[in-house]
Structure 1
Amino acid sequence: MKPAASTESRPRRLPFLQGVLPINPAQLPHDIIAGITLAALGIPEVMGYTKISGTPTVTGLYTILLPLIAFAVLGASRQLVVAADSATAAILAGELTAVASLGSPEYVGLTSTVALTVAVMLVIARVFRLGFLADFLSRSALIGFLTGVGVQVAAGELSGLIGLPKQGHGPIMQIVSAFERIPVAHLATTALSFAVLAVIIGCKRFVPRAPGALIAVIGSILASGFFNFAGRGIAVTGEVPGGLPTLFLPHLPVDDINQVLATAASCFIVIIAQSAATARAYANRYNEKGDDNADLIGLAAANAAAAFTGTFVVNGSPTKTEMVDDAGGRTQIAHLTTAVIVLLVLLFLTRPLSLLPAAVLSAIVFMIGVKLIDVKGMAELFRMQKDELVVALLTAGVVVFVDVMHGILAAVVLSLIAHARHSYRLHTHVLTRNPAGHWVPHRVEPNLYAVPGIVVYRFEADLFYANTGRFTEEVLTLVNEADQVLRWVVIDASVINNIDYTGGKALIQVGEELDRRGVGIAAVALPTGVRSEIERYKALRARGAHREIFATVDAAIDALHNVAPTTSAASPDETKKPG
């Protein structure tokens, strides 16, 4: 386990450079090395993401230049790496092709417009403190969503691996098309692709710290220049513009505004959920206080920087964050180091990138897609929570068979449905005493008495509109099917934290029904729970009826075991007779 860094002695942080300050001289060399590692691993990866997003190769480098610096200056997380991401890249390619051809100048311009729109949405989210929205995309739905994206990304690169153009709409047709055309595959390109995959997988398997993708990129560039791959029919990247990116304000075509807003909203949801989850995980790992709302400003600045430099949406990246953490980086200084290296590449090393074979990027992107397919997460859901496995599989299915944007909607809706099901599928019990005098819970059945004439019914969830029917039904069943004269029903509400309007009305109606049967109703509720809500609804106050609120089940039984419902007896914590 990695050591936790206590934050108790840390001075109050400024509203900027929170991920950088205070600088620990002992940690500084580790951060610099981690930044170099991130550059080595991340540069080939972000270049690969441009194949997913349908933008020029150099735009991938732009995502880890100014956006990385912007988040380091204005973000709160000390660990989160903000850069190009496969999920948001896939959203762009899946949605913007409805209004512009993939890779066209209009399309590339729209990707920057979406990034600026996302930045505005993130600022609005910060103003209204909407960081909590990250909680509404469940982990199971996120596993399914990223798995679906992984299938989509990997399937889209199969044709590129064998040197053929992509054909077919959707991942399934792309897979079928690639396999049908294997007999006409370009053999040299196919051999190169398999060699790159062997290097990446081999490094991961035998030398985990070796930058397999970078080795493959450098090796293929050298081989491309020496053997003239372009002259032998192996497609290469072509000219990559050097120098600093040009700053400009993205244009918003009025005719495309609806598509831009829908695409930006999908990216916004993924960014909120994925960035917050990643930042929280690493803050918890090192016992640091996270700030979702402050990170929103950093993410907004990063996406604005992306928009103004002509690149696409950036997001908190779990894979790159883990790269830095595994290399010993603990602050945003590592990310600033990466930005410096990327700047040097843009100024002096873009010419060699023009020799990079396209199949190498296809192989890198294919491996990115394969890594996103979370078989381990799915297996864990199968073992631990099968109903949430269904949520993950449905979300993945929508991404694969429909599109990414609807996959996002499915992830959010299914997360909310799963939450509602967990709230609705509550636990209820009837309590009885065992010979030792301890309370024992039983499934809800008639004729289980705490003492003769008294039933204790425990409701173990908030009482709200969706479960009041079950509450009413079970209480009345206990009364109607009793095999002896029932005098009291004690509702154990000690674990209820909220009663909504429908729940309050249901409690009143149950009391009235029990009055008609000559049965009293009492409650066990704590001052820190819903006692004030019960009293506010006057659910236990009725003319001619004696009802009480007790602090414990024992207090209720002791006070009521010899009391008839229509008589008066003061409860241990009541000083006045109920009115």
Structure 2
Amino acid sequence: MKPAASMEPLLHRMPFLQGLLPINAAQLPHDVVAGITLAALGIPEVMGYTKIAGTPTVTGLYTILLPLVAFAFFGASRQLVVAADSATAAILAGMLTAVAAVGSKEYVGLTSTVALMVAVMLVIARVFRLGFLADFLARSALIGFLTGVGVQVAAGEFAGLLGLPKAGHGPIMQVVSVFQRIAETNTPTAALAIAVLAVIVGCKRFAPRAPGALIAVIGSIVASAMFGFSSHGIAVTGDVPGGLPSLFLPPMHTNAINQVLATAASCFIVIIAQSAATARAYANRYNEKGDDNADIIGLAAANAAAALTGTFVVNGSPTKTEMVDEAGGRTQVAHLTTAAIVLLVLLFLTKPLGFLPAAVLSAIVFMIGVKLIDVKGMGELYRMQKDEFVVALLTAGVVVFVDVMHGILAAVVLSLIAHARHSYRLRTRVLTRGPADRWLAHHVAPNLLAAPGIVVYRFEADLFYANAGRFTEEVLKVVTEASPPLRWIVVDATEIYNIDYTAGKTLVQLGSELDKRGVGIAAVALATGVRHQIERYQALRARGAHREIFATVDAAVDTLRDLAPTPSTSEAGSAPASGTKPA
């Protein structure tokens, strides 16, 4: 057993196979079953994503072949499934149509080029350890973005459910155009679509573990082959090329390079945020150590594999990861099992896929879109954090009424604005003594004293250029409105972990202003807080002024209770009080 024990630290240091090793023999059967389940549920889903992305049906299968293997080899997450995703597929369709016709050879080549550019961006992100960027896309903005994408995806398939060609620009006009042409509905196609939706919804309602989409796909293929759906006006997929995908370097379309880079950047942002959030959630669920930067390499390898096999961008998929987890999968063995099944389908079962009715894929994609509309998440945001609900709603609105690219930009900008607002919004308190000498926190108001002539003012946020002015205003307001006049203001800085240059200079100016009013200033700052920053900026240092840094609020109040602040003109060189540290 000793060699095995010595191998374990080595495995943790390896830059690859972290999602596979060490292999647990007892877990192996569960992973294999989970892989089979993922194949059953995922194959119809990724075929549906090709309708969103505007690429041939077989490219969906390619996204869960080599990309799955590449992430299993290079990624760190043991649970994250990397494959085609509705959000990135919608970005492709929303942005590349500006430079190529959907479904054309040039368009398909551009989707692979985008995947390659995404891989390059991910490698750069890993080199510079930019995994933390995932934290800057707020969950509320992501909920809104995916909800907007869901509306866009579902609206785009509304025409296909009725056997009508897609018309109209944008989700609203697409739905309006369907109602304008409702009399032209292809009745057999509509009946088939309703039957497929009934199977999917019925399985979800009454047999959640049953692969409703797969049952609908197999059933429709059999019915199409037996009854000749194509001869009855029901469109079918047509020939699906079999065999392994060809390996080639995507063409570099120099005339469309700006659009390719913009599309890749949009996909990159969603991939970083969504993949990291999903991987972290499952790592936390099973008390495993996540590694965002290692996962970035896995995602880069997966997108490079997608590019080289002629398919489109892949992403960490929350829905597929949950599929595997529910089925008992705990390692990347499950994903390799899925890839093996997809390989068998490509080698032996592509011919039957040619009988698949287009309305079936429309129904599957429609349900994917409906599932992306996060009514529960939006409702929770509305109840618990209305300002973040507004962020989600605005992001969704931009996706629906403008386009996906601007939706991405809105998500990023609104996330940063939300972050700035939280940092800017002051959470401040004044402290007074309560029963048993406990400190009680109150909203800031005049004449709430910790001791006669002393106010303890607590600032519960980092002090930086955006809120330093408000900090000063509130302190001076407390001093100005006090009756009788204050002798000391004690700033409790134990919740401040950073002071930038602007804030440091503001503290110096505040000290000078308080000097003029005959009010002394002291601070409470622990060694783990910003004590060294206060000292570095000399924020409490002034010639002849009595200013100190205390370790606790009690120490500050007890020392200053009987001490009057001496004007700087008459107290040059005064020694600090006993038991305190001079600033």
Place the TM-score, normalised by the shorter chain, in its bin.
over 0.9
Q: 2:23 — aligned with what?
A: 23
Q: 1:126 — aligned with what?
A: 126
Give 2:113's aligned amino acid.
T
Q: 1:10 offset after TM fit, Å?
A: 5.2
Deviates more, 1:134-143 or 1:473-482: 473-482
Q: 1:569 offset after TM fit, Å?
A: 5.6
Q: 1:437 offset after TM fit, Å?
A: 2.1
Contact 1:550 1:572 in 2 (8 A): no
Q: 1:573 offset after TM fit, Å?
A: 4.3
Structure 2 CA distance for aligned equivalents of residues 534 and 367 of structure 1: 57
* Distance change (3 Å), C-alpha of 1:573 and 1:178: farther
Q: 2:149 — aligned with what?
A: 149
Structure 1 CA distance for aligned equivalents of residues 479 and 435 of structure 2: 25
Q: 2:351 — aligned with what?
A: 351
Structure 2 CA distance for aligned equivalents of residues 68 and 383 of structure 1: 38
Contact 2:546 2:576 in 1 (8 A): no
Q: 1:543 — aligned with what?
A: 543
Q: 1:101 — aligned with what?
A: 101
Give 1:203's aligned amino acid.
C
The 5 Å alignment of 1:394-409 reads 394-409=394-409
Q: 1:90 — aligned with what?
A: 90
CA distances 1:371-422 after superposition (whole Å, capped 9, x unpaired): 0000010111112111111111011001001111111111111111111111
Q: 1:441 aligns to what SS in structure 2?
A: strand
The gaps in structure 2 that reach 5 residues or longer are: none
Give 1:28's aligned amino acid.
L
The 5 Å alignment of 1:167-186 reads 167-186=167-186
Q: 1:421 — aligned with what?
A: 421
Structure 2 CA distance for aligned equivalents of residues 286 and 114 of structure 1: 34
Q: 1:570 — aligned with what?
A: 576
Contact 2:242 2:347 in 1 (8 A): yes
Q: 1:9 offset after TM fit, Å?
A: 11
Structure 1 CA distance for aligned equivalents of residues 468 and 200 of structure 2: 57
Contact 2:237 2:357 in 1 (8 A): yes
Structure 1 CA distance for aligned equivalents of residues 48 and 197 of structure 2: 14
Q: 2:97 aligns to what SS in structure 1?
A: helix
Contact 1:65 1:342 in 2 (8 A): yes
Contact 2:472 2:510 in 1 (8 A): yes
Give 2:30's aligned amino acid.
H
* Distance change (3 Å), C-alpha of 1:521 and 1:184: same
Q: 2:517 — aligned with what?
A: 517
Q: 1:522 aligns to what SS in structure 2?
A: strand
Deviates more, 1:452-461 or 1:367-376: 452-461
Q: 1:180 offset after TM fit, Å?
A: 2.0
The 5 Å alignment of 1:361-372 reads 361-372=361-372
Q: 1:275 — aligned with what?
A: 275
Q: 1:118 offset after TM fit, Å?
A: 0.4
The 5 Å alignment of 1:167-566 reads 167-566=167-566
Give 2:247's aligned amino acid.
L
For normalisation by structure 1, the TM-score amounts to 0.97
Structure 2 CA distance for aligned equivalents of residues 546 and 9 of structure 1: 61
CA distances 1:452-507 after superposition (whole Å, capped 9, x unpaired): 12121111111111111211111111222221132111111111111111111111
Give 1:552's aligned amino acid.
T
Q: 1:427 offset after TM fit, Å?
A: 1.1
Q: 1:21 offset after TM fit, Å?
A: 1.0
Give 2:331's aligned amino acid.
T
The 5 Å alignment of 1:50-89 reads 50-89=50-89
Structure 1 CA distance for aligned equivalents of residues 281 and 447 of structure 2: 49
Contact 2:67 2:314 in 1 (8 A): yes
Structure 2 CA distance for aligned equivalents of residues 48 and 8 of structure 1: 46
Q: 2:489 aligns to what SS in structure 1?
A: strand
The answer to whether residue 46 in structure 2 is matched with residue 46 in structure 1 is yes
Instruction: State the aligned residue count.
Output: 571
Q: 1:436 offset after TM fit, Å?
A: 3.3
Q: 1:23 aligns to what SS in structure 2?
A: coil
Contact 1:41 1:214 in 2 (8 A): yes
Contact 1:154 1:368 in 2 (8 A): yes
Q: 1:255 offset after TM fit, Å?
A: 1.0
* Distance change (3 Å), C-alpha of 1:492 and 1:60: same
Give 1:437's aligned amino acid.
D
Contact 1:559 1:569 in 2 (8 A): no
Structure 1 CA distance for aligned equivalents of residues 579 and 249 of structure 2: 68
Give 2:356's aligned amino acid.
L
RMSD across aligned positions (CA): 1.4
CA distances 1:9-46 after superposition (whole Å, capped 9, x unpaired): 95442221111111111111111111111111111000
Structure 2 CA distance for aligned equivalents of residues 319 and 9 of structure 1: 34
Give 2:299's aligned amino acid.
L
Q: 2:111 — aligned with what?
A: 111
Contact 1:152 1:400 in 2 (8 A): yes
CA distances 1:48-105 after superposition (whole Å, capped 9, x unpaired): 0000000000000010111111111111111111110000000000000000000000
Structure 2 CA distance for aligned equivalents of residues 208 and 17 of structure 1: 32
Q: 1:355 aligns to what SS in structure 2?
A: coil
Contact 1:32 1:334 in 2 (8 A): yes
For normalisation by structure 2, the TM-score amounts to 0.96
Percent of matched pairs sharing the same residue: 80
Contact 1:550 1:571 in 2 (8 A): no
Deviates more, 1:454-463 or 1:122-131: 454-463
